[in-house]
């Protein structure tokens, strides 16, 4: 055992479990690739101010959970706690929005970091796949992203998830609601930190999970009663498009999400099999974020889906993904000459696209065959001095045990035929 261990609240992703995580990422990315979204990758750290402005100075993410540090050169940086601000920053820096082909549609996958109390389904290092559609205000874009996430989850076999939907209004109607909510909240029995939040972003109080806070929120003014006509019409179009697509959702008037940049459409995917940490992903429209970080007006919408949470949802539903074995063929040489010949055959099989492994380290036949079975391979190639003298290798079916001699120059064709 090493002297060192993974930092508290983090984890190492190892085979065979890592194959499930890869399959989840690919399943989420699949619908995006088919819908005009291009891949983007951003640094693992950014300027602290990017997240302070974009995510919001009143959020727990910025005030309590962000890993911030100062470089030797005096720069204030932070490990990225979420993906949207970084993606939008990169798009602006590269002037992707100036090509005239809006919206700019991007997807990404990576690790994110928040200093939280570690618990199942909530880690200090976690993995997400996200998507952003930048530069267009269109209910169809909001609906498209929700539908694509729904499609991704269903392609994995998930069924017991729900989509929560709400509208947070815009710069015209939300300030009126904000003032009414502040008046209500200032009459409650709240701690000092929450009272400060009432002054900075009162909508975040609605998202407070503490029972004594939630009990006092009964009778709080509802945002739906303050939405302007434009926001009402926009939200209704999103709802109609989802309904027409056969995507079920639930209206949740208290859904505000944890980031300050959301406007109008906001949504969350929750799975009832995960207990208190039920959210597996979410997102919404963020029409003012570009201006917050120094860019032009670029109405946008996006989401991020948690890979870790999705894996837990699969476990909760008892779903085991059908993941192909990493190895189809395992080569077992018996002797130095056989090592040289079989290693050449392994190279040719790999070039032909056949997943092939090799018995390294001079293992004897018994141990090598144990390794072949553990690898999940369907076939073994075995060769010794007598086989080579006859110009053949033995092709063994590891399921039936049937063994057939195959000419050396026909190995690739025979292996392909045997694998179907």
Coil, helix or strand for 78? strand
Sort 420 into a burial class: Cβ within 10 Å, 0-12 / 13-18 / 19+.
exposed
Is there a binding annotation on residue 83? yes
Give, rounded to a whole angstrom, the gap between the first and last alpha carbons of the chain.
Answer: 42
User: ∠ CA 146-245-137 to the nearest 5 degrees?
Assistant: 50
Residue 131: closest CA among 271, 31, 200: 31
Is 262 within any annotated ligand binding site? yes
CA distances from 10 to 115, 116, 123, 304 (A): 10, 11, 6, 19
**378 annotated as ligand-binding:** no
347 annotated ligand-binding residue: no
DSSP labels for 35-62?
TTPEE----SEEEHHHHHHHT-TTSHII
Residue owning tokens 């499609």: 151
Question: Is 128 marked as binding a ligand?
Answer: yes
Judge whether 56 is annotated as a binding position: no
Task: For residue 315, give Cα distances in angstroms to 50, 117, 160, 320.
Answer: 36, 22, 12, 8
Structure tokens, 351: 């070039």
Are the C-beta atoms of 47 and 77 separated by less than 8 Å? Answer: yes
286 is in an annotated binding site: no
> Which tokens is 62 given?
């910025």
List Cβ neighbours of 78 (8 Å cut-off, separation of 6 or more): 45, 46, 47, 48, 51, 66, 67, 68, 69
- What's the CA gap between 145 and 105, in Å, rounded? 10
The reply, when asked if residue 253 is annotated as ligand binding, is no
Q: Are strands 300-306 and 279-285 parallel, antiparallel or unpaired?
A: antiparallel
Are 42 and 54 contacting, i.e. CB atoms less than 8 angstroms apart? no
Contact call for residues 328 and 354 (beta carbons, < 8 A): yes
What is the secondary structure of 137-185 as a DSSP string? Answer: --HHHHHHHHHHHHHHHHHTT--SEEEEEEE---TTTHHHHHHHHHHHH
> Rounded to whole angstroms, how far apart are CA atoms 59 and 293?
16
Please check if 132 is assigned to a binding site.
yes
Nearest partner of 166 among 318, 282, 20, judged by Cα: 282
Residue list, annotated binding site for L-histidine: 82-84, 114, 128, 132, 257, 261-262
């Amino acid at each position: 055992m090493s002297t060192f261990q993974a930092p508290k609240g983090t984890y190492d992703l190892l085979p065979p479990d890592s194959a499930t995580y890869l399959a989840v990422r690919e399943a989420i990315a699949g619908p995006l690739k088919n819908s005009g979204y291009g891949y983007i990758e951003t640094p693992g750290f950014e300027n602290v101010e990017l997240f302070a402005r974009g995510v919001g100075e009143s959020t727990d993410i910025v005030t309590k959970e962000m890993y911030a540090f100062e470089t030797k050169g005096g720069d204030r940086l932070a490990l990225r706690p979420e993906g949207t601000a970084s993606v939008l920053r990169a798009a602006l820096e590269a002037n992707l929005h100036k090509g005239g082909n809006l919206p700019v549609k991007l997807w990404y996958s990576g690790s994110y970091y928040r200093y939280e109390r570690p618990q199942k389904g909530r880690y200090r290092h976690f993995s997400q796949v996200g998507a952003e559609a930048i530069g267009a205000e269109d209910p169809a874009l909001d609906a498209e992203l929700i539908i694509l996430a729904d499609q991704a989850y269903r392609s994995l076999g998930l069924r017991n998830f729900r989509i929560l939907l709400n509208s947070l209004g815009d710069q015209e109607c939300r300030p009126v609601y904000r003032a009414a909510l502040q008046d209500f909240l200032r009459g409650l029995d709240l701690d000092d930190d929450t009272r400060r939040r009432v002054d900075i972003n009162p909508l975040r109080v609605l998202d407070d999970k503490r029972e004594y806070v939630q009990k006092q929120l009964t009778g709080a003014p509802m945002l739906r009663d303050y939405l302007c006509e434009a926001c009402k019409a926009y939200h209704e179009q999103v709802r109609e498009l989802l309904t027409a697509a056969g995507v079920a959702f639930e209206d949740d008037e208290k859904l505000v999400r944890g980031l300050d940049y959301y406007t109008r459409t906001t949504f969350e995917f929750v799975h009832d099999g995960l207990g208190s940490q039920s959210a597996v992903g979410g997102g919404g429209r963020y029409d003012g974020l570009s201006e917050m970080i120094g860019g032009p007006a670029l109405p946008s919408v996006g989401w991020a889906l948690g890979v870790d949470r999705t894996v837990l949802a699969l476990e909760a539903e008892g779903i085991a993904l059908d993941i192909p074995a990493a190895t189809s063929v395992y080569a077992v040489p018996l002797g130095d000459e056989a090592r040289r010949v079989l290693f050449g055959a392994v190279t040719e099989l790999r070039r032909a696209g056949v997943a092939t492994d090799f018995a390294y380290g001079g293992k004897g036949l018994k141990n090598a065959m144990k390794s072949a079975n553990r690898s999940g391979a369907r076939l073994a190639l075995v060769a010794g001095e007598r086989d080579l003298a006859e110009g053949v290798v033995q092709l063994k079916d590891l399921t039936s045990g049937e063994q057939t001699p195959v000419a050396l120059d026909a190995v690739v064709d025979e292996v392909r035929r045997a694998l179907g």
